[in-house]
Chains A and B, each alone.
Chain A
Amino acid sequence: MSKHVIVIGGGVAGLEAAGQLSKAGIEVSLIEKDSLTGGHLNNWYKLFPDRRHSSEVKAYLDGISLNDRIRLLTGTTVEKFHRNKSHFSIITDKGKELSADAVVVATGFDLFKSEKKEEYGYGIYDNVISSSDLEVMFRSGKIVLQNGTVPKTIGIVHCVGSRDEKAGNLYCSKLCCVTAVKQAIELREHLPASKVFCFYMDMRMGGAFYEELYREAQEEWAVNFIRGKVSEASETIDNKLVIKVEDTLAGRPLKMELDLLVLMAGMEMSEGGKKIATLSGLTTGQNRFFSAADPHYGSNRSNINGVFYAGTCTAPMNITETISHARAAVSDVMDYLKESN
């Protein structure tokens, strides 16, 4: 009899895990809360560092996950989670009971809610937007201010909700820096007459070809980088934004007028993930993400035998890492199913 695995979450990690499981002959039920699979990928424009369109990755994921072995349950959430020895049963919000030999949790991340950093004025001032709002603008091809005019001076604030005790997040989301560089380039590409300023604490370009992209932003796109954490933004009577920052390399406070301010929202444990943690007894860490059984060689295993993690429900990851992590989860699932036979 073939084995059955439930995958919770239909984003990048969930689709990859489901696809690889189905290739290995496993029957999969894939639960996704939204009406569409793909997760955050559906909102992104182009991906760093090579700036290919996100729809290409979505097409790949659809290719491996649309098959007879995967039962797709979209618009569905998990309401109950039971374990009886090596058998799992999940009851959905629609009252459906699913049973399985193993579970892969791929509940992903939520973006930090920028309005929590009230000093930047997200949701208060007209032209303060988040990095994900900007992705949507790029997708629509229209980058305009609230009054319909084109921004000339644009500021990008790094570390919004990351490395910030006041936001409750001590960790680095590690991908916002490269996202800022990518978006700065894209802003200059869409609006060649604009000036773009990135305000950073450190430039954390720790991925393949990230540093090269940073260099390209300086060399070919004349993006300006100013080291310092923006302390606050305010609005002038003529609808411009004024920011205050210390130019820490000049050792002097600096004020600047901007038309548009973009906040690089960090990554947090998703609300969906928190709910699964409560329902199942899966443990979470100080950073609120799921905690792995072993940080070095067991990042896909959990505190419950038979429940595995894939992707950003354990830590911030880029798409490459997420896909690798999901494949590794499938490898652990296959070992587990063989052993529990």
Chain B
Amino acid sequence: MEKFGFSISKGRQIDYEANDRRVADFIYEREPSFRLCIECGGCSATCTTGNLTKFSLREIHILIKRGENDKVREDIKKCMLCGKCTLVCPRGVNTRNIVMLAKQAFIKSDEYAV
């Protein structure tokens, strides 16, 4: 078949029902402070990784909560676990532990991840 270089673009919409939020549930269960995030962006502002590469812990939080795991799975490996994000968080979210737990959840991908 002749190829003309056209393709169907993937929708950008988050389909809440279709998404799998087991990674989020895994974290909620083990680190309840995950619920307290108000998306202020303090963590991303202080983050060394985020200042040098395209990485936002704030965005990662929200993507996990929506079940948009694909982007997070690779991105989260960039975190150096320095813990500055935890120091600046105004809501007392244990952000460092959330990264640890997310990594665990992805490693146990057979059980938890999409």
Contact = CB atoms under 8 A, between A and B. Distances in A.
Interface of A is mostly: strand
Interface stretch (B46-54, B57-65, B97-105): B57-65
Given A218-B35, A225-B38, A254-B14, 15 more contacts: A219-B33, A219-B35, A247-B14, A247-B66, A250-B59, A250-B62, A250-B68, A251-B59, A252-B68, A253-B14, A254-B66, A255-B13, A255-B15, A255-B16, A256-B17
Given A254-B66, A256-B17, A257-B16, A249 B39 contact: yes
B3 interface: no
Interface string B22-50: 00000010001101101100000000000
B91 interface: yes
B16 A227 contact: no
Interface in B67-92: 68, 91
Contacts of A218: 35-36
Contacts of A251: 59
Contacts of B35: 218-219, 222
- Among B16, B17, B32, B39, the most chain A Cβ lie within 10 Å of the Cβ of B16
Q: How large is the interface on B (under 10, 10 to 19, 20 to 34, 35 or more residues)?
A: 20 to 34
B98 to A, nearest CB: 14
Contacts of A257: 16-17
A247 B61 CA distance: 13
Interface string B1-20: 00000000000111111000
Interface in A211-249: 215, 218-219, 222, 224-225, 227, 247, 249
Contacts of A215: 36, 91
Given A255-B13, A256-B17, A257-B16, A250 B63 contact: yes
A224 B36 CA distance: 10
- Among B58, B63, B66, the most chain A Cβ lie within 10 Å of the Cβ of B66
- Among A247, A253, A256, the most chain B Cβ lie within 10 Å of the Cβ of A247
Nearest to B32: A219
A203 interface: yes
A253 B15 CA distance: 9
Contacts of A255: 13-16
A254 B62 CA distance: 12
23 contacts: A215-B36, A219-B36, A222-B35, A225-B38, A247-B14, A247-B66, A249-B39, A250-B14, A250-B63, A250-B66, A251-B59, A252-B13, A252-B68, A253-B12, A253-B13, A253-B14, A254-B14, A254-B16, A255-B13, A255-B14, A255-B16, A256-B16, A257-B17
Interface string A169-201: 000000000000000000000000000000000
Contacts of B58: 249
Nearest to B39: A249
Contacts of A203: 38
Nearest to A211: B38
Contacts of B15: 255
Contacts of B17: 256-257
A239 to B, nearest CB: 16
- Among B32, B35, B36, the most chain A Cβ lie within 10 Å of the Cβ of B35
